Amino acid sequence: MDALFCIPMLSVFLIPVLSSYSTTLNFLFFYMTWSTLVLSHTPLRVEMFGTIAVRLIFYALPSIIMFLFDILTPSASVVIKAQGATGLPGGKRRRNIRVRELKIAGWSLLNLFMSIMLQWVIEALCVKAFKMRSTVKVALKLPMPYEMVRDLILGLLAREALTYGIHRYALHESNSILTKFHHFWYHQLHAPFPLSAHYDHPLTYLLSNFIPTYLPAVMFRFHMLTYLIYLVIISVEETFAYSGYTVMPTNFFLVGIARRMDMHLLTYGEGNFGPWGIMDWIFKTTVGDAELIDDATDDAEEREREARAKRAYEAAQKKSNANVRPSKVQAQSVRGRR
Ligand SMILES: [Zn+2]
């Protein structure tokens, strides 16, 4: 409660300008809302509803809107796609969206839902079953700004290191079943598109996305507010980095991450394992320059052409088999009559 009285008093004596009053009032209202929330709900409920709200507002809803924009108005969306028509959910087929693209969107949302449920289970086990303290700190006392900044920097660096290590060594440079899952699920995408940030086999998704996101918050025992800001940063990054668009809120940062994600898919995972590229830069696993992007886009288009031809061939083969079968049956019945 000290902060509640201390800051308004400081404002009255030290910074007597109108703007400081409005800042103080905003802070006061914020603190009142926060304390009402913490006092009227259990910490578990505050953490889970906060997580769901941030994930919905900053990831799920904008990604669903972008996905619908891509599949319903491909001619408008293709203009701002870094990889042109290849970057659309249906690839070059544009309007011809198949069940596969809808399945990818469905799995992404299901994975996200599963990760929130798992967080709920972990937190409930810690607090209720093992009578331990909660993994994320839900307290009335607000963290100091420098503590929030310090925790955010540490958390994001830990997430970068964990994602890099798991993605590179467990999902690419090993012969485990997880590597196969990652290749047969995520690496079957021709390019990232909205919602594909959370698309992968559920097991590999939990290992390479949920753990690197949640573990730093547990390791540094974030305050709930720090955790929400941390989750907002990650959700916004995932929404835009996997959109495939060239137009983004912060061009130098998000566009850089987005092109790195493009290159990871286009080169079949030769590099760019971490989201921000810090670890790739340290371990020299960065891939991607303008020429390489062009070559890789051509390769992706070639692969798509081959896959289309293969599907058409298989469909034609099935059709001809279906036509042949009745004539065989007819021949047998004629033979039988003789
Ligand atoms: Zn990969």
DSSP letter for 190, please.
S
pTM over 0.85: no
Q: Judge if 120 and 48 occupy the same domain.
A: yes
Q: Give the sign of the dihedral formed by CA 119, CA 125, CA 126, CA 128.
A: positive
With 0-12 / 13-18 / 19 or more C-beta atoms within 10 angstroms meaning exposed / middle / buried, residue 198 is buried
Choose the weakest-confidence range: 2-16, 56-70, 145-159, 238-252. Answer: 2-16
Angle, nearest 10°, between helix axes 224-241 and 211-219? 160
Evaluate whether residue 327 is within a structural domain.
no
Residue 333 CA to residue 338 CA, distance in Å, equals 9
The mean of the pLDDT values for the chain is 79
Choose the weakest-confidence range: 3-7, 215-219, 257-261, 277-281. Answer: 3-7
Q: Judge if 12 and 80 occupy the same domain.
A: no
What's the 42 CA to ligand 1 centre distance in angstroms? Answer: 39
What's the 166 CA to ligand 1 centre distance in angstroms? Answer: 10
Residues of the domain holding 59: 43-255
What's the 267 CA to ligand 1 centre distance in angstroms? Answer: 10
What's the 86 CA to ligand 1 centre distance in angstroms? Answer: 19
Evaluate whether residue 243 is within a structural domain.
yes
Residue 51 CA to residue 231 CA, distance in Å, equals 8
Q: Judge if 31 and 125 occupy the same domain.
A: no
Q: Judge if 66 and 23 occupy the same domain.
A: no
Evaluate whether residue 173 is within a structural domain.
yes
Closest of 13, 41, 12 to residue 28, by C-alpha: 12
Q: Judge if 173 and 31 occupy the same domain.
A: no
Q: Judge if 159 and 31 occupy the same domain.
A: no
Residue 1 has pLDDT above 50, yes or no: no
Residue 299 has pLDDT above 90, yes or no: no
What pLDDT is attached to residue 334? 47
Closest of 102, 32, 35, 110 to residue 68, by C-alpha: 102
Q: Judge if 35 and 94 occupy the same domain.
A: no
Model confidence pLDDT, tens digit, residues 121-161: 998 898 888 878 888 888 878 888 899 999 999 999 999 99
What's the 264 CA to ligand 1 centre distance in angstroms? Answer: 7
Residue 67 is encoded by which pair of tokens? 């996905």
SS3 category, 137: strand
Q: Judge if 136 and 82 occupy the same domain.
A: yes
What pLDDT is attached to residue 319? 61
How many folded domains does the chain comprise? 2
Model confidence pLDDT, tens digit, residues 30-82: 778 877 877 778 888 888 999 999 999 999 999 999 888 888 888 887 877 77
What pLDDT is attached to residue 254? 77
Evaluate whether residue 323 is within a structural domain.
no
Residue 116 CA to residue 175 CA, distance in Å, equals 29
Q: Judge if 105 and 238 occupy the same domain.
A: yes
Q: What is the DSSP string of 256-325?
A: HHHHHHHHHHHTTSSS--SSSSHHHHHTT-----HHHHHHHHHHHHHHHHHHHHHHHHHHHHHHHHHHHH
What's the 192 CA to ligand 1 centre distance in angstroms? Answer: 12
Residue 215 CA to residue 162 CA, distance in Å, equals 9
Counting Cα atoms < 13 Å in the Cβ hemisphere of 218 gives: 14
What percent of the chain has pLDDT above 70? 75
What's the 140 CA to ligand 1 centre distance in angstroms? Answer: 41
